[in-house]
Structure 1
Amino acid sequence: MAQALTHRLEAFTRLSPDDKEALAKLSKVARVVPPRRDLIREGEKPKFVHLMVDGWACRYKTLPDGRRQVVAFFVPGDFCDLNVYVLKEMDHSIGAITRLSVADISRDDMDALTTNYPRITQGLWWEALVNAAIQREWTLNIGQRTAYERIAHLLLELFLRLRTVGLTNGISCDLPLTQTDLADATGLTAVHVNRTLQELRRDGLIVLEKRRLTLPDIEALMTAAMFNPNYLHLDHEGRYLDSNQ
């Protein structure tokens, strides 16, 4: 599963064997977090950069009355806030969705990596830009798209992100999210999410069984969601910025 990080960064830059070896060392699991437990909570002091090695997690905010807004999903190969250790305290929480294997990376190790491996640094810059683009797209999703479009768009994004790190099988992928998770990420109720998923099934755009998502007609689903994948930068433009690579 440590290869997920390599796959992720190779979407943005070409990595040498030494780069890959450094990433493999970085991806050593430091701890395992049980499902539905917090990795770190709002108000706590961050000490490490967290790398998702295996499993799913989410970034979320809560209101005093307990209402939750999921603002990001993390899959294997994702970092949680590359420079988070500069903060005095967390302004959000990171929670495990599934059983989660995490690499805790110290500031010194992160600084050494970016100093000694410029191609990795380039990949991390691109990843940060893509993460910002994803956040903008989520804002557009909640602000302008219908419930049908929101759910379709989110499922497509997750599928493409998983495909980038080699975690899809043809037109299928694991989807361990509950309807409540989807509701908290899209500003809908769980009942509305259930109804919307049923509509997508009836229209032949998704098959969702036993936490396994299948997209029978990805182009049709993209049309229904008004999905433009350009914000994910899947065309690998970053790989060609440096002619010496």
Structure 2
Amino acid sequence: MAAIGDDGQPLAPLLRKLIALGPVMQGEAAAVEALPLTFREYRPGQEIVRERDRPNQACILLSGLCCRFKIVGDGARQINSFHIPGDMPDLQSLLLHQMDHGLLTLTRVKVALVPHPTLLQLIAGHPRLGLLFWRDTLIDGSIFREWMCSIGRRSARARVAHLICELFLRYRNVGLVEDRSMPFHLTQTQIGDALGLSVVHVNRVVKSLRRDGLISLASRRLTIGDWAALVDIGDFDDAYLHLTPES
């Protein structure tokens, strides 16, 4: 069994995320704490779940970074979302029995696996947790819609700035921001695959944001130098993240 609640415990990011989604009572937290978990580690570039798989368990991301992705007809990759600790990126497999995309690790990753029947029992016994999981999937959809607006209508500079703002607030939501600094392991290729940009274009934008003092990068961390300016450039409104007062 895995304990949660303290920052040093494996499921602490998930609990923080659930609390950010809505109230979590002590009994509900205890039920999550009692989940039987199987832990697994992956190297960068491994698929946790493949397109057309039929998973019988859901994964909780404990550390690292992964993405949902699809490969189109000519072999090009489109990244559909990034996932950070506390996320359950294949939660939809609980009700959609065949995966319509893959889940790929971008760094070293540790996950906890929960059998679907166990997760369904948790939801049946604690309906409010089920509502929180449902809210999480609805916010997933909201993020997809915002990404579509970025790819379809925002400039390259705005797309990159918008993504940085989003990741910053999501990392802060699970307690992984220090002052104005967050983990940042994305390569320019991965950013391009997510935002529909060439590596050359991403490189130019990142250089311009650094030159203007809006961001700095060092030791796989990104520090925001001017949040207000970054928000303005990115046309960023955090309403689509549906953050609660608790978060």
TM over 0.5: yes
1:85 Cα deviation from its structure 2 partner: 4.1
Q: Deviations 1:22-73 (Å, cap 9, x if unpaired)?
A: 2234484521111111111112222211211111100000124321000011
Indicate yes or no: 2:78 matched with 1:69. Answer: yes
Which among 32, 54, 62 is matched to residue 53 of structure 1? 62
Q: Quick one: structure 1 residues 176 and 118, their matched pair in 2 at CA, closer, same or farther if it must change by over 3 Å? A: same
Residue type of the alignment partner of 2:28: D
CA distance in 2, matches of 1:23, 1:193: 40
- SS of residue in 2 equivalent to 1:139: helix
CA distance in 2, matches of 1:127, 1:57: 17
CA distance in 2, matches of 1:181, 1:83: 24
Query: What does residue 177 of structure 2 align with?
Result: 168
Q: Deviations 1:115-144 (Å, cap 9, x if unpaired)?
A: 112332222122111111001000001000
CA distance in 1, matches of 2:110, 2:51: 20
1:88 Cα deviation from its structure 2 partner: 4.6
- SS of residue in 2 equivalent to 1:35: coil
Indicate yes or no: 2:78 matched with 1:78. Answer: no
Indicate yes or no: 2:244 matched with 1:210. Answer: no
Residue type of the alignment partner of 2:67: C
Aligned length: 238
In structure 2, stretches of 5+ residues that fail to align are 1-9
Indicate yes or no: 2:10 matched with 1:8. Answer: no
1:4 Cα deviation from its structure 2 partner: 0.5
Q: Quick one: structure 1 residues 44 and 12, their matched pair in 2 at CA, closer, same or farther if it must change by over 3 Å? A: closer
Q: Deviations 1:196-234 (Å, cap 9, x if unpaired)?
A: 000111111111122110012212110111100001111
Runs of 4+ in structure 1 off by over 6 angstroms are: none
CA distance in 2, matches of 1:135, 1:47: 25
1:21 Cα deviation from its structure 2 partner: 2.3
Provide the aligned C-alpha RMSD in A: 1.8
Percent of aligned positions that are identical: 39
1:89 Cα deviation from its structure 2 partner: 2.9
1:236 Cα deviation from its structure 2 partner: 4.0
Q: Which one is further off, 88-97 or 164-173? A: 88-97
1:92 Cα deviation from its structure 2 partner: 0.8
Indicate yes or no: 2:55 matched with 1:43. Answer: no
Query: What does residue 108 of structure 1 align with?
Result: 117
TM-score for both structures, normalised by structure 2: 0.91
Residue type of the alignment partner of 1:10: I
Which among 116, 119, 126 is matched to residue 117 of structure 1? 126
Indicate if the aligned counterparts of 1:13 and 1:236 stay in contact, CA closer than 8 A: no
- SS of residue in 2 equivalent to 1:39: strand
In structure 1, stretches of 5+ residues that fail to align are 240-245
Indicate if the aligned counterparts of 2:38 and 2:114 stay in contact, CA closer than 8 A: no
- 1:182-221 counterparts in 2 under 5 A? 182-221=191-230
Indicate yes or no: 2:158 matched with 1:149. Answer: yes
Which among 11, 30, 34 is matched to residue 39 of structure 2? 30
Indicate if the aligned counterparts of 2:92 and 2:137 stay in contact, CA closer than 8 A: no
